[in-house]
Amino acid sequence: MYTDKVMEHFMNPRNVGTIAGADGVGQVGNPVCGDMMTFYIKVKDGKLEDVKFQTFGCGAAIAVSSMVSEMAKGKTLEEAMAITNDLVAEELGGLPKNKLHCSNLGADALHAAISDYLEKNGGAAAGGGSAAEAAAGRAAGHEEGHKCPYCEGEVEEALKIVCRACRLEFVKCGNCGAYSKKGDRTCRECGRPLE
């Protein structure tokens, strides 16, 4: 049912714990399965110097949290925001269909921690974006009113869909209209394949 890599990360999870005085904390949960993940990050010179997690959930949820922490450590904020549920599942050698939501939770919890850090630090974007750039985007007539599902920043729609705060790029689901991270294969809301 589970790959050897999933079992290894479940039996010997990396980076378990908390970070005292964390620069960012992100928590997500799935009320259907009861999984709950909290990620803690320490940022230095625009990179994730340390990443730790606490997870309450099944073996897949623990393995996913461990893998996400490994994938994120040492990365820039922008690189870490680009970690998708599909990449996590791929790194683990695949997950059973009924456990794929765990990979979504892991990436979402990491992104929530990064968004918390950005919010605490004036919303400076991981990719070098600024409040001035966001204002320029508004002045250029980008669509208003859509919120980033990760940091609650305004989403601008022009040639591409980008969050003004965290600079994460999205695609819009043709079925339900929800935003998912560019690169994801399925919609984070309805689960339908993305074009």
Is 166 in the active site?
A: no
Pairing state between β 36-44 and 24-29: antiparallel
Set 58, 102, 187, 190: catalytic member: 102
- In the DSSP assignment, the letter for residue 192 is P
> Largest Cα–Cα distance of the chain, in whole Å?
52
Count CB neighbours of 66 within 10 A.
24
3-state SS class at 162 = strand
3-state SS class at 32 = coil
Is 33 in the active site?
A: yes
Catalytic residues: 33, 102
